[in-house]
Structure 1
Amino acid sequence: MAKLVKTEEEVMLADMARGFLDGAAPVGKLRQMRDDEVTHDPALWREMADMGWAGVLVPEEAGGSDMGFAAANVIAEEMGKTLAVSPFISTAVIAATTLRQVSDARAKEALGRIASGEAIYALAVDEGIKFDPEATQMEAKAEGNGFRLNGSKQFVVDGALADRLLVLARTENGLTLFDIPADRDGISREKSNMIDARDSARIEFKDVEATGEDVVGSVDQAMTVLRPALEAGQAALAAELTGLAAGAFGMTVGYLKERKQFGVEIGRFQALQHRAAHLWCEAEVTASAILNAGRMLDEDPENASLAVSLAKARATATAKLAVIEGVQMHGGIGMTDAYDMGFYMKRARVGAEWLGDYSYHAEKIAAVRGF
């Protein structure tokens, strides 16, 4: 099969995103945010919303740009190259995809707030040490015309800064998804900065009241609306990891061309050339998998699971290879905090775990293929 390539429109979008992010969100900005213990830049998110990124998956009638999943992946990939910090995946991708599955006025209003940059969402799904939505144990007990939520969630990315939460809980006959304000009585959030200096939270729910209006979709049928959103988020995260690998690779190649040993640039050493060439090949194959996942989500979403899991698994492995090779080919300086390669390595590690690690997606691929 021929290598998938970006369309002319996607190339233009990538170039526009690259030009903006290089100036507004370089890697140095992440370093400054880390040093200042800041995990969110509201001004940057407003600029992204003004460019239509927050509404990339929001229908036009709700105020969005509705560019599609492939376009969202293009933006996420460019963000990965500079490790740009934003709630793009949690809000513009996962939350927007969830809410667009629902046709009521409340969902349309929420989508409009996402597109304008007013609302920031976080997905509260994880409870154990690994991603496993189907194993959710948090209880949503029916009470009168509503529910009472009790339990806890962890690894809630953007959970400390979000003003709304998508919460997965177990009801009498299945799983139900709730859209509730993050400051509702009974909710307590413990901020937990991740190793990549980004926002995450542990969230406790104690007798939290939820009404029927807070239910997204139908009671006991959460995965109907959540599964497409998870796959969209997984594809966008895979794209970000692919961009991360490209950013780390570019930094490494630049170093190989500059660093000299015995009066010769180390990039002339054949052993290092072979390792760089291998990494480039892996990145090219992964880039095709990312493009395919975006195409499938846009054109045949009911059958996109295999393409999405393949993209996430490959992106995880490629990002890991890129940062490991980057550190090794930089030598001792690659291990120091003064050099930016460490930021790429830390982000790659967090991205590997969020929304399902390599093993999770490899098992899904095996299951689809009948193994």
Structure 2
Amino acid sequence: MHFNFTPEQQQFSDALRRWIEKDYTFEHRNKIIQSEQGVSDQAWATLTELGMTALPVPEEQGGFNGSAVDMMVVMHEIGRGLVIEPYFATALGAQFLKLAGGQESLLEQVAGGELKLACALGEKQSRYELFDIATTAKANGGSYVLNGSKTVVLHGAQANQLIVSARSSGGQRDTSGISLFVVPADATGVSRREYRTLDGHRAADITLENVELPASALLGKEGAGWDVLDAAADYGATLLCAEAVGAMEALNEATLEYLKTRQQFGVPIGKFQALQHRMAEMFMQLEQARSMATLAAVKVSSADAEERRRTVSAAKARIGQALKFVGQQAVQLHGGMGVTNEVQAAHHFKRLTMIELTLGDTDYHLARFAAQPGFRKAA
């Protein structure tokens, strides 16, 4: 089966790659990482100008109504170029707004690049189980009061609005009783502790202390947020799969180029058959990952929740295995230089490591895949 991008998808890909190669070079990216803000307003303005912020937004709110396959094209280039801007966090937040409905104004701001979002979902005890929520949301007349803490919120300090999961009823690990809220990042009672992650991105731990919100801040229905949360998390995992494929592709290219130029015993080390075999295996791992990322992008919008969960977890698990192999082999083939910050391959390896740990690692998704109905035959 042949999978070809449409002319519009190819245009998005080409435009983004040209900008990265010309203006978002490895050296420029390193300067952004070392800056106080950790992201670039100029780069964000360019992403907006190229239509990237409008891509996932419905046409009615000024967007292009891009599908997960359209977003796969963009995330692939972001992975290749090691873009550290808060694009993934905002796209994931926009998915929450779309699934919940009734947030047209915010989506318009996302499309115009005026609004950056972050998703405050994980807590210190929850690991990858996003239904394990200790943060509380208490109804108080016509408003809600939130209390709790969220950890490792990607680009939480750069966001204008936070998508927060909280428990309005039920036990701590119940899927029922979960509510979702849009919380202004500068709301009274919100504090953010920012730090740099392994891959150069920025994250924050967020504390909510008696944060009072109007009823309009509620996404969807009170206590019925799990289906939206589960579906949006799968969408986010699908975007990460596409980013990982782009990063692996660039890492393979850099490793191959290094084998062609690094000499030992008077010949390029790429002439050695043992290293050729390792590069061939890296290529096979990449192509299998690419196929699974494509399948996840096609199936993530399926009306059948079981099929969506099964496919996304299969993709995230398989790509987790592939990125570990490709990353480790690339580092070894580069030798000691493969772990230095001066070499771009090291940064790709670090980003791949973080992708594997975000929204469920390989072991988590293998277990989730096996837990889906129909995996085990009845005795």
Query: Given the two structures, how large is their TM-score scaled by the length of structure 1?
Result: 0.94
Partner deviation per Cα, 1:219-273 (whole Å, 9 max, x = no partner): 0011232222211111001111111111111110000011111111111111101
Partner of 2:173: none
Partner of 2:355: 351
The 3-state SS of whatever aligns with 1:165 is: strand
Partner of 2:4: 6
Structure 2 Cα separation of the partners of residues 168 and 356 of structure 1: 17
Q: For residues 2-41 of structure 1, what are the structure 2 equivalents within 5 Å?
A: 2=1, 5-9=3-7, 10-41=9-40
The 3-state SS of whatever aligns with 1:192 is: strand
Structure 2 Cα separation of the partners of residues 140 and 103 of structure 1: 20
**Residues 157 and 192 of structure 2 are in contact (CA less than 8 Å); yes or no, is this contact kept in structure 1?**
yes
**Residues 285 and 326 of structure 2 are in contact (CA less than 8 Å); yes or no, is this contact kept in structure 1?**
no
Q: Could you tell me which of 351, 372, 375 is aligned with 1:370?
A: 375
The 3-state SS of whatever aligns with 2:181 is: strand
Call closer, same or farther: CA 1:197–1:301 in 2, change over 3 Å.
farther
Structure 1: tracts of 5 or more residues without a match: none
Q: Which amino acid aligns with 1:308?
A: V
Q: Could you tell me which of 115, 124, 131 is aligned with 2:120?
A: 124
Call closer, same or farther: CA 1:36–1:102 in 2, change over 3 Å.
closer
- The answer to which of 151-160 and 321-330 deviates more is 321-330
How far did 1:37 drift?
Answer: 4.5
**Residues 94 and 117 of structure 2 are in contact (CA less than 8 Å); yes or no, is this contact kept in structure 1?**
no
Call closer, same or farther: CA 1:169–1:298 in 2, change over 3 Å.
closer
- The answer to which of 209-218 and 329-338 deviates more is 329-338
Structure 2 Cα separation of the partners of residues 345 and 244 of structure 1: 8
- The answer to which of 24-33 and 144-153 deviates more is 24-33
Call closer, same or farther: CA 1:224–1:335 in 2, change over 3 Å.
closer
Partner of 1:167: 164
Q: Could you tell me which of 291, 302, 308 is aligned with 2:312?
A: 308
Call closer, same or farther: CA 1:335–1:258 in 2, change over 3 Å.
same
How far did 1:98 drift?
Answer: 1.2
The 3-state SS of whatever aligns with 1:361 is: helix
Q: For residues 149-160 of structure 1, what are the structure 2 equivalents within 5 Å?
A: 149-160=146-157
**Residues 242 and 318 of structure 1 are in contact (CA less than 8 Å); yes or no, is this contact kept in structure 2?**
no
Q: Which amino acid aligns with 2:275?
A: L
Structure 1 Cα separation of the partners of residues 203 and 366 of structure 2: 26
1:64 matches 2:63: yes
- The answer to which of 5-14 and 113-122 deviates more is 5-14
Partner deviation per Cα, 1:271-299 (whole Å, 9 max, x = no partner): 10101000100110110111111111356
**Residues 62 and 109 of structure 1 are in contact (CA less than 8 Å); yes or no, is this contact kept in structure 2?**
yes
1:340 matches 2:340: no
- The answer to which of 53-62 and 141-150 deviates more is 141-150
How far did 1:300 drift?
Answer: 4.8
Partner deviation per Cα, 1:125-182 (whole Å, 9 max, x = no partner): 1102622211111111222222211110001001011110000001124100000101
Q: Which amino acid aligns with 1:153?
A: K
Partner of 1:319: 323
Q: For residues 37-186 of structure 1, what are the structure 2 equivalents within 5 Å?
A: 37-92=36-91, 94-104=92-102, 107-128=103-124, 130-173=127-170, 174-186=177-189
Q: Percent identity?
A: 31
The 3-state SS of whatever aligns with 2:27 is: helix
**Residues 122 and 165 of structure 1 are in contact (CA less than 8 Å); yes or no, is this contact kept in structure 2?**
yes
The count of aligned residue pairs is: 366
The 3-state SS of whatever aligns with 2:300 is: helix
How far did 1:20 drift?
Answer: 2.2
Q: Which amino acid aligns with 1:111?
A: L
Q: Which amino acid aligns with 2:277?
A: H
How far did 1:321 drift?
Answer: 1.7
Partner of 1:255: 258
**Residues 6 and 291 of structure 1 are in contact (CA less than 8 Å); yes or no, is this contact kept in structure 2?**
no
Structure 2 Cα separation of the partners of residues 153 and 299 of structure 1: 29
- The answer to which of 334-343 and 284-293 deviates more is 334-343
- The answer to which of 331-340 and 160-169 deviates more is 331-340
Structure 1 Cα separation of the partners of residues 10 and 113 of structure 2: 25
**Residues 26 and 83 of structure 1 are in contact (CA less than 8 Å); yes or no, is this contact kept in structure 2?**
no
Q: For residues 201-350 of structure 1, what are the structure 2 equivalents within 5 Å?
A: 201-298=204-301, 300=303, 302=305, 303-350=307-354
Give me the CA root mean square deviation: 1.6
Query: Given the two structures, how large is their TM-score scaled by the length of structure 2?
Result: 0.92
Structure 2 Cα separation of the partners of residues 70 and 117 of structure 1: 21
